[in-house]
Structures are given as structure tokens and as C-alpha cells.
């Protein structure tokens, strides 16, 4: 084989995913098992349940990705696996499976930082050179970073409390949107986006906290509490119990979506100005990459587009299937590291890992 080929394995949260990707960015094979349906029923991820489901699926998922690629495992250049951050119990399943495979196939191992993989995904689909700015907004993550090289990140800001997707999920749960006939199968964030289209964001007037802080950090619990107060008040006014759908649910969804977009755009604006003032980003055509489940929200994306247009930047988003957790980004991060020659472990003894 002329090209390097990497098998990527991801189990950091609630998706068991694997993919085989080559140096030119061709996805040779991929497979994914999502646990979303199980966790929706329990109202959140219970780590031992996630661990058990990863255990039940990992072998099959990796096998499916390898078979679809129709390469022989001996043709792999390396195996790349998410080692952090994430749920320890979930990460452990992917890691011990990978190390077993690494031992069997005698291949180099590339430990992957989940956020680095999210940030580099855009280079698989588009020609994006370093440096660029990345905004990762999902259910578990919220950060702004300057990507200067494959493993050279400058963290500019993060959430001081919860991630925006987590906040949207909590609001959706408080609104019982799972009982709403139009949104029963959607994630919290998606349900909010769907309902917001029918709502009026001017109906409630709220000012979220941390708007003026002189850094790029985020906070979403303040907004969550403001929205909770509105919900409690509306329940009283409409004379309904918690657990029933409010007639003003769509207005509340529009309000929380709009305010979330404002919060995200304001912090991102600061990051762009900070980098440009210090010549860390080109003055014209600097790239802002937005990724993560929340970045698939069209309202938030449009708000970011208005920001990038006003600051001579270009907004780029990986396709939706690569915005959420997947094995392709892990394999691609492995390729990037192989090409840069960083973080490749050739000796399994190099890997200090204590199985739980």
C-alpha cells in the first residue's frame, strides 16, 4: 500500500465507533453503534450502562469497519484510539480493546485526545491550513481554541460550568419535550431548534450573565436558571403541572436558542479580536471552524456566519455526521499525527494504563 492507513476507535461517551481512513482522507470503512435511545429513556447517561453497551458492541463495530474497508488488518499503519477526555468507564472499553488489538497485530498505537480529533476533522473534508480558530460546542464540551499545529493548541476559553448542549438538554427535559408529538425522538437541542421555529424570541426579555467578562470563557447555568424561572411562572399562569407541555413552550424554546446563540457569538467575537490583535490569525480570510452537536443548529450557525462576515473571517463546519462523535475523526487524527510524527507509541510497554 502506498498510503498510510489508520484504524480509529472511539468510545468516550455514548457512541461505539470505528473507522478505517487513509492518508488522502478516503474513508475506507466505518461503523457506529449509538446508545442514544437507551439513554433518552433514563433521562441521561448512566456510566455503567454505557460501559456495558460499549462492551457488547465494540468487537462487532471494529470488525464491521475493517470488513467494509476490505483491507487486511496487517495493512494498517497504526491504531488510534480516544484516551481522553470522556467517561472513564466508556474510555476504558475502547482502550483495553485497542491495546489487545495492538498486541495481536503488532502495530503502533496512537492515543487520541477527543477534542483534538474534533478540531482537526475539518482538514479531512476541506483544505484548511494552520492556524485556525475552533469552536467546539456539544453536550459535553464547550471550548474556543487556536489551532496552530497538529498537537499545538492555545486554549482561549471554555465553559466555567456546563456545556451548551447539556443546558439545552436540561431545558428540553424541564419542558417535557419528549412528550411533544413533534419532538419525541429528538435530542434536547434538536427539539429546541424544531420548536423555536414556531415561537417568538421577543416574548421574554432576558439578559444572560458573563456577557462583559474580559475573557473568552462561557457560562450556561445562569441562562438555565433564568429559563427555569420563566417555566415555573408560566406553569402557574397556565395552571398546569410540571410534566405537561406549556402552550408557551415554543416561545421559551426560541428565547433559549436565541440567547444561547448570542452568548456563543459574543465570546467567539472576543476570541477573533484577541487573535487578530496579536497576529495569531491572518487579518483577512481567517478560518473559524465550528463543530459539535450544537454547531449543527442552523440558528446558531447563521449567527456565527453574521459574525464571521463582519470580521472578514470564513466560517467552516464539518458535515453534520462528522460534527458528532465518530470513528472517522479519530482515524484521521491518527493520520495527522503519523504525518507530523508526533505521539506515536511503538512499544506497548510505553502505554501506562491500569485497567479498572
Nearer to ligand KG4, 5 or 191 (CB): 191
* d(C-alpha 338, C-alpha 59), whole Å: 25
Candidate segments 25-33, 162-170, 206-214, 281-289, binder of ligand KG4 by CB under 6 A: 162-170
* H runs (alpha helix) in the chain: 36-42, 47-69, 88-105, 114-120, 122-125, 164-174, 188-196, 221-238, 249-277, 298-310, 320-323, 328-340
Span of 51-59, 137-145, 208-216, 265-273 interacting with ligand KG4 by CB under 6 A = 137-145
User: Rule CB under 6 A: is residue 248 a binding residue for ligand KG4?
Assistant: no
Least spacing, CB of residue 250 vs ligand KG4, in Å: 15
Q: How far is the CB of 342 from ligand KG4 (least distance, A)?
A: 25
Is residue 265 a contact residue for ligand KG4 (CB under 6 A)?
no
Write each residue from 289 to 318 as x if it is in contact with ligand KG4 (CB under 6 A), else as -, in one continuous string.
---xxx-xx---------------------
User: What secondary structure does DSSP assign to 130-141, as a single string?
Assistant: SPEEEEEESSS-
Q: How far is the CB of 133 from ligand KG4 (least distance, A)?
A: 19
Q: What's the min distance (Å) between Cβ of 321 and ligand KG4?
A: 10
* Contact with ligand KG4 (CB under 6 A) among 111, 131, 165, 343: 165
User: Is the Cβ of residue 305 or residue 325 nearer to ligand KG4 in the bound state?
Assistant: 325
Query: Would you say 169 or 336 has its CB closer to ligand KG4?
Result: 169
Stretch that binds ligand KG4, among 97-105, 197-205, 224-232, 288-296 (CB under 6 A): 288-296
Cβ-closest position to ligand KG4 = 189
Separation CA 104–CA 100 (nearest Å)? 6
Q: Choose, by CB under 6 A, the member of 325, 327, 328, 335 that binds ligand KG4.
A: 325
Q: In what order do the strands lie in the sheet with 27-34?
A: 27-34, 15-22, 5-10, 78-84, 109-113
Single out the residue of 111, 124, 135, 75 nearest to residue 260, CA to CA: 135
- Told to check if 138 binds ligand KG4 by CB under 6 A, we report yes
Q: Under the criterion CB under 6 A, does residue 188 sit at the interface with ligand KG4?
A: yes
* Cell numbers linked to 236: 402557574
How many residues are given for the chain? 356
Rounded CA-CA distance 164/136 in Å is: 10
| CB < 8 Å & 24+ apart, contacts of 230-233 | 230/204, 230/206, 230/255, 231/174, 231/175
Question: Segment contacting ligand KG4 (CB under 6 A): 72-80, 97-105, 188-196, 308-316?
Answer: 188-196
In whole angstroms, how close is the CB of 118 to ligand KG4 at the nearest point?
8
User: Do 290 and 144 contact (CB within 8 A), yes or no?
Assistant: no
CA distances, 64 to each of 57, 70, 326 (Å): 11, 10, 14
Question: Which residues here bind ligand KG4, judged by CB under 6 A?
Answer: 13, 138-140, 165-166, 168-169, 187-190, 193, 292-294, 296-297, 324-325
Amino acid at each position: 500500500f502506498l498510503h498510510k492507513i489508520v484504524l480509529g476507535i472511539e468510545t468516550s461517551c455514548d457512541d461505539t465507533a470505528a473507522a478505517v481512513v487513509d492518508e488522502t482522507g478516503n474513508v475506507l470503512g466505518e461503523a457506529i453503534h449509538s446508545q442514544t435511545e437507551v439513554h433518552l429513556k433514563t433521562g441521561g447517561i448512566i456510566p455503567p450502562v454505557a460501559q456495558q453497551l460499549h462492551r457488547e458492541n465494540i468487537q462487532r463495530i471494529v470488525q464491521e469497519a475493517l470488513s467494509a474497508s476490505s483491507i487486511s488488518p496487517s495493512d494498517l499503519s497504526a491504531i488510534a484510539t480516544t484516551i481522553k477526555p470522556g467517561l472513564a468507564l466508556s474510555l476504558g472499553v475502547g482502550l483495553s480493546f485497542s491495546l489487545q488489538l495492538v498486541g495481536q497485530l503488532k502495530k503502533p498505537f496512537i492515543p487520541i485526545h477527543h477534542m483534538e480529533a474534533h478540531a482537526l476533522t475539518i482538514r479531512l473534508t476541506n483544505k484548511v491550513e494552520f492556524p485556525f480558530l475552533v469552536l467546539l460546542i456539544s453536550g459535553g464540551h464547550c471550548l474556543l481554541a487556536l489551532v496552530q499545529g497538529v498537537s499545538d493548541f492555545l486554549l482561549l476559553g471554555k465553559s466555567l460550568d456546563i456545556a451548551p448542549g447539556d443546558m439545552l438538554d436540561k431545558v428540553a427535559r424541564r419542558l417535557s419535550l419528549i412528550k411533544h408529538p413533534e419532538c419525541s425522538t429528538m435530542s434536547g437541542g434538536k427539539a429546541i431548534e424544531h420548536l423555536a421555529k414556531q415561537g417568538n424570541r421577543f416574548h421574554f426579555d432576558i439578559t444572560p450573565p458573563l456577557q462583559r467578562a474580559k475573557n473568552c470563557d462561557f457560562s450556561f447555568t445562569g441562562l438555565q436558571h433564568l429559563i427555569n424561572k420563566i417555566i415555573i411562572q408560566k406553569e402557574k399562569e397556565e395552571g398546569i403541572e410540571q410534566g405537561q407541555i406549556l402552550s408557551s413552550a415554543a416561545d421559551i424554546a426560541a428565547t433559549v436558542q436565541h440567547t444561547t446563540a448570542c452568548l456563543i457569538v459574543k465570546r467567539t467575537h472576543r476570541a477573533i479580536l484577541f487573535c487578530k490583535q496579536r497576529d495569531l490569525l491572518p487579518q483577512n480570510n481567517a478560518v473559524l471552524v465550528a463543530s459539535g452537536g450544537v454547531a449543527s443548529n442552523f440558528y446558531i450557525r447563521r449567527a456565527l456566519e453574521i459574525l464571521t462576515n463582519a470580521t472578514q473571517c470564513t466560517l467552516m463546519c464539518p458535515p453534520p455526521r462528522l460534527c458528532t462523535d465518530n470513528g472517522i475523526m479519530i482515524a484521521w487524527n491518527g493520520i495527522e499525527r503519523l504525518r507530523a510524527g508526533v505521539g506515536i507509541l511503538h512499544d506497548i510497554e510505553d502505554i501506562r494504563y491500569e485497567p479498572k
